[in-house]
Amino acid sequence: MRRMASVHIALEKSISMDRVTPEPQPVEIAVMPQASYSRAPHADAQPFRQPYYKPHTSLGATGHWVKTAGLLAPLVIGEFVKDPDQRWRFIRIAAVATALVSEAMWTHRITKEREEARERERECRAQY
Q: What would the mean pLDDT of 10-36 be, rounded to a whole number? A: 55
> What's the burial of 41, exposed, middle or buried (CB within 10 Å: 0-12/13-18/19+)?
exposed
| Digit-coded pLDDT (tens) for 91-107 | 999 999 999 999 999 99
Give yes or no for a contact between 7 and 27, defined as CB atoms under 8 angstroms apart: no
* Confidence band for 2, pLDDT divided at 50, 70 and 90: very low
* DSSP-derived 3-state class of residue 96: helix
Q: What would the mean pLDDT of 64-84 be, rounded to a whole number? A: 94
Domain ranges of the chain: 58-127
Please check the confidence at residue 41 and state whether its pLDDT lies above 90.
Answer: no
Model pLDDT, residue 1: 45
Among candidate residues 67, 71, 55, 58, the one with its CA nearest the CA of residue 101:
67
* Confidence band for 11, pLDDT divided at 50, 70 and 90: very low
* DSSP-derived 3-state class of residue 11: strand
